[in-house]
Amino acid sequence: MKPYVICHMMSSVDGRTLTGNWGRVKGMGAYEETGSSFKANAWICGRTTMERDFASGKPLKLRSNGKALPKTDHLASLDARSFAIAVDKDGKLNWEKASIGGDHLVVVLNEGVSSAYLGHLRDKKISYIFGGKRELDLKLVLEKLWEGFFIRKLLLEGGGHLNGSFLKAGLIDELSVLHLPVADCNMGAPSIFEDSEGNKVPVSKLELLKVKKLENDVLWLRYKVR
């Protein structure tokens, strides 16, 4: 079993998502508001998004005590009811706290990470799960989130590369996009879905579920992913 996955993003009218390029645009506040209307108890982001917006900017200094830690999933909090999930397979991010805005942090790793990095997460009381030996199996990751953390609805909140991986794996149930009244036009700014592998990707067909005009000229579109 897997959680119901809603990819929730805000984009320019040309589908770009680097909000930092836009300066002050009215209507950005609608992102949190519409996101919380889904009543999901978890959200997930890629390593780059977590690095830019949530992890510590300080360099990671790992201390090894020479002890090998098992490459098994680790649940650091039995009380947590809401979760922030970071896809950081190689264990690059430096975390200072076990939660983001009250949501317990869970890191998705591969089995190549060092015991010293696992020790870093354990010291901070951060949970972690393994999603594969080298590459991540996102279906397995979702099954573990369902089983181990009781996550039934998950907001997939970017960036474009993580969204693209979920889309290609056929794991997105719904797409929720806020179109802000801005045309970006910057080459290389990630769009809502990106492919890292550069192969030809089959298109995904969508079915429009709902259209709503919000304040400040924001358009909220919801699609079912077929």
Ligand X SMILES: NC(=O)c1ccc[n+]([C@@H]2O[C@H](COP(=O)([O-])OP(=O)(O)OC[C@H]3O[C@@H](n4cnc5c(N)ncnc54)[C@H](OP(=O)(O)O)[C@@H]3O)[C@@H](O)[C@H]2O)c1
Binding residues (CB under 6 A) for ligand X: these are: 9-11, 17-19, 45-49, 52-53, 87, 89-90, 92, 136, 138, 157-162, 165, 190, 194
Contact 174, 222 (CB under 8 A): yes
Residues ≥6 apart with Cβ < 8 Å to 176: 6, 7, 8, 9, 34, 35, 38, 220, 221, 222, 223
Q: Which amino acid is at 65?
A: N
Give the nearer residue to ligand X in terms of CB position, either 92 or 122: 92
Cβ-closest position to ligand X? 159
Output the CA–CA distances (angstroms, integers) from residue 128 to 58, 107, 219, in the order listed.
Answer: 21, 5, 36
- Closest CB 108 distance from ligand X, rounded Å: 8
Phi, psi of 122 (to 5 degrees): -65, -40
- Closest CB 166 distance from ligand X, rounded Å: 8
Give the nearer residue to ligand X in terms of CB position, either 49 or 127: 49
- Closest CB 13 distance from ligand X, rounded Å: 13
Beta-carbon-side half-sphere exposure of residue 212 (alpha carbons within 13 Å):
12
Give the nearer residue to ligand X in terms of CB position, either 9 or 84: 9
Q: Which amino acid is at 201?
A: V
Tokens of 104: 């317990």
Give the nearer residue to ligand X in terms of CB position, either 10 or 80: 10
Give the nearer residue to ligand X in terms of CB position, either 81 or 111: 111
- Closest CB 65 distance from ligand X, rounded Å: 25
Exposure string of 8-19, with b = 16+ CB inside 10 Å and e = fewer, is bbbbbeebbbbb
- Closest CB 145 distance from ligand X, rounded Å: 15
Give the nearer residue to ligand X in terms of CB position, either 17 or 41: 17
Output the CA–CA distances (angstroms, integers) from residue 68 to 64, 119, 123, in the order listed.
Answer: 9, 9, 15
